[in-house]
Structure 1
Amino acid sequence: MERRAWTTTAACLLALALGVLGGTLPVPMVALGAGPTYDTLGTVESDQVVTIEGQMSYPTSGHLNMTTVSVTDRLTMFTALGLWASPEYRVVPRELIYPSAKSLDEIQEQNSAQFSSSEANAEAAALAELQIPTTVVVSALVAGTPAASILAPGDELLDVANQPMNSVRAVSDVLMATRPGDTVAVRYRREGAVHERDIPLATHPDGGQGLLGVVLSGKLRDGDIRISLAGIGGPSAGLMFSLALVDKLTPGELTGGRFVAGTGAITPNGVVTKIDGIPFKMRAARDAGATVFLVPAENCAEASSTAPDGLQLVRVGTLHDAVVALDDLNAGRAPVGCAAP
């Protein structure tokens, strides 16, 4: 009888220990879920998200909401199991989000840099879409290319191949007819002084045309554009920032009063690229009241299979696609959806 009592006591103590460990010991997993969503046409904590100075701006209506993904860290075994069983979350290895090779400060710095880059790309893409002349500035250089030893971040490109540069797209257009090994004349301004150099072109990763080896941004020549949204990281707000700029810089109301949300990184040339977490972003948008969601073309297959009820998906491959789609909605025409091939 005494032995049975000890066995029962030991079993209870073991169960208690496992319960304590399961409820307190962190596991190397994180949970992804729907994050907050912000209207790029509105304000956050009384600050206007997108502000334009020195240019005519126009009234807007409706919403153009950017969307985010939340990350829940320091999960216990019991919490991880509970979130794993929930359709609202996806539990993934922590290493995917917080690589052990980087410190938390390094990861946050990288996310902030990506967000800042998305702001600069959004400005360049919107100004190119509206054909507003810009100052073309070198943001970064591609290591190992001839340009990396000649140009520097902050240089203003004035001419490329004897063609004046008034947008990032203009640089791409000039280089379309080139080949690796060609040399192009580049005139640029650095700290007030104008320089001119012949720069050999490197091999483009996509083949075909030559690669100048610079990352460019386009800045408004007359006036200033500010995007104010603290505490957000990553590149996926680029498309929605661009649309907010297009809406504010053109007469009429791009949304037609609708609640539009979306996601997508954007290049200075206006190409919308794939992002992660599309199911969570769509859910957050629908919960916030969105009826239309702009989806990067490369995310359409996943979006079609996970879209919540009541949310119209619109396929966009470029900023121009998004503008045309919203114009189509305002005119009563059906935009290209994600079910389209």
Structure 2
Amino acid sequence: MPRRTATMLASLLMLIALLCAGVLIPVPYAEMSPGPTYNTLGEHNGECVLQISGHKGCETTGGHLNMTTVRVTGSEYRMNLVEAVYGWLSHDNVVVPHDTLYPDDKTPDEVNQQNAEEFSQSQESAKVAALEALNKKVTSQVIVGAVVKGSPSEGKLHAGDVIKSVDGAAVRAPDDVAKLVTKHKPGEKVTFSIIPAKQAAAAEKSGKRPTGQKQIPITTKKAGGRAIVGIQAGIDYTFPFKIDIKLADVGGPSAGLMFALGIVDRVSKEGDLTGGKFIAGTGTIDDKGVVGPIGGIEMKTIGAREAGARFFLTPKENCAAAAKDVPDGLRLVKVHTIDDALKALKKIRSGDTAGLPRCAAG
């Protein structure tokens, strides 16, 4: 066989071997891509996303307030080298280390559970922020969020119990509980004044303030060099009317802002916030209405534009990353609070968009 032919054959065989290796050898990466968007003012699977008793339903003037999502490869999926290279070269996808999405110290079920809890909490914060923006009364109380198995509180305190005081000191925020407990030395007793969860739930259902406090003494134990009782304190809100958010198969906290704006649209006497415009966005939101950053901003702007959005409400801290590669026809609007977002919506629906706060690339 001539040398040239042999060299070409050897090169071809090596190329085939490399391609086979690229297909067969898994690499520790995962992929993020634009996910679906959901109009918080519309329907999903045949029912209104936002269901608010005593207020308007899904009827709109054609406007959109779409929350955005990111699609990720599953925890069990193992990307091969060819797919990773294709993802790196693709404009619409992002390849990230596998443990960025699925940390080694958590099982896939634990990751899914965390995402579900964050999504649930984002809904509660969205309700509070929206109603506060509308000057609607929202009451709150500190509760036992969870009891650690095998802890001193097991069997004495229960999830949903309302914590009124610790050692006689009034509890007004979840952090107060830890501060009061850690004043003790491990082994000392601390007394919780609580309203049992069943009584609290019955009172809320009847629209009355819960009564019937019980004194529960608990002996602390040592953990991390300090005294603990083994509970996680949380906060429970009472709203002036029932608000249900019907959207399954979505996780994480990043829909908070758009849920809050959707609630304002449904409850506000001003009517449609969008003026018939297609607006999308993202961002966490806390009880005070502060908008926080999220992950996958580049994927979300692409998904929003593909869905038809012309404006994208962008958390201030995500602006620099989002502005590096803005999809054609999409305008980024910087927001830091729900008030910022409401002011921006007012400008958009009036057509006065020249003064909208812009995102600049960092």
The answer to whether the 8 A contact 1:216-1:268 is kept is no
Deviations 1:53-76 (A, max 9, x none): 2x2336533001000112134221
Does residue 88 of structure 1 match 2:89? Answer: no
Query: For residues 65-110 of structure 1, what are the alpha-carbon distances to aligned partners after superposition, in whole Å with 9 as ceiling and x for unaligned?
Result: 0001121342211111111111212211111111122111111111
**Which residue is 1:330 aligned to?**
349
C-alpha separation between the residues in 2 aligned to 1:124 and 1:157? 20
After TM superposition, give the deviation of residue 329 of structure 1 in Å.
2.4
Corresponding residue of 1:102: 106
Return 128-137 or 34-43, whichever deviates more: 128-137
Task: Summarize the Cα distance change of 1:330–1:156 in structure 2 as closer, same or farther, 3 Å threshold.
Answer: farther
Matched, 1:33 2:40: no
| 2:68 alignment partner in structure 1 | 67
TM-fit CA distance, 1:296: 0.8
Judging changes above 3 Å, is the alpha-carbon distance between structure 1 residues 283 and 3 closer, same or farther for their aligned structure 2 residues?
A: closer
1:314 aligned counterpart, secondary structure: strand
Asked whether the 8 Å contact 1:260–1:293 carries over to 2, the reply is yes
Q: Tell me the equivalent position of 2:42.
A: 42
Identity %: 41
Structure-2 separation of matches of 1:336 and 1:190:
46
Match of 2:292 in 1: 273
Rounded to whole Å, the distance in 1 between the matches of 2:331 and 2:236 is 32
Q: 1:81 to 1:339 in 2, by over 3 A?
A: closer
The letter for the 1-side match of 2:160 is: G
> What one-letter code is carried by the residue in structure 1 that aligns with 2:336?
G
Shift of 1:156: 5.0
Query: Match of 1:96, SS?
Result: helix
> Counterpart of 1:36 in structure 2: which amino acid?
P
3-state SS of the aligned residue for 2:303?
helix
Cross-structure match for 1:203? none
**Amino acid in the other structure paired with 1:35:** G
Q: TM-score, normalised to structure 2's length?
A: 0.72
CA contact (8 A) 2:324 2:361 kept: no
1:106-117 to structure 2, matched below 5 A, reads 106-117=110-121
Amino acid at match of 2:38: Y
Correspondence 1:41-190 to 2 at 5 A:
41-53=41-53, 55-57=54-56, 59-61=59-61, 62-72=63-73, 73-137=77-141, 138=143, 140=145, 153-155=159-161, 190=197
**Aligned residue pairs: how many?**
314
Match of 1:208 in 2: none
| Letter matched to residue 269 of structure 1 | K
- 1:281-300 equivalence runs, <5 A: 281-300=300-319
- Give the CA deviation at 1:191: 3.2
Q: What is the TM-score of this pair, normalised by structure 1?
A: 0.76
1:297, 1:315 within 8 Å by CA — same for their partners in 2? yes
Q: Which moved more, 1:290-299 or 1:57-66?
A: 57-66
Deviates more, 1:134-143 or 1:269-278: 134-143
1:23-74 CA distance string (max 9 Å, x none): 1332111122211111111112213211112x23365330010001121342
Secondary structure of the 1:226 match is: strand
Greater shift in the superposed pair: 7-16 or 261-270: 7-16
- Which secondary structure does the structure 2 equivalent of 1:191 belong to? helix
Q: Is the Cα contact below 8 Å between 1:52 and 1:225 reproduced in 2?
A: yes
Residue 191 of structure 1: aligned partner: 198
Shift of 1:276: 1.1
The residue type equivalent to 1:336 in the other structure is P
Is the alpha carbon distance of 1:75 and 1:4 closer, same or farther for their aligned partners in structure 2, counting shifts above 3 Å?
Answer: same
Structure 1 residue 289 displacement after superposition: 0.7
- Aligned pairs for 1:244-283 (under 5 A) are 244-251=262-269, 252-283=271-302
The SS at the match of 2:324 is helix
Q: 1:231 aligns with which of 249, 273, 296?
A: 249
Give the Cα separation in 2 of the matches to 1:18 and 1:78.
10
Aligned: 1:218 with 2:237:
yes
Query: What letter is aligned with 2:248?
Result: A
Gaps of 5+ in 2: 166-170, 177-182, 184-192, 200-210, 216-231
Show CA shifts across 1:254-297 (max 9, x none). 11111010000111221111111111111111111101110111
Matches within 5 A, 1:298-337: 298-333=317-352, 334-337=355-358
Q: How far apart, in 1, do the equivalents of 2:358 and 2:31 lie? A: 30
Which residue in the other structure is 2:202 paired with? none
The structure-2 alpha-carbon separation of the partners of 1:325 and 1:3, relative to structure 1 and needing over 3 Å to count, comes to: closer
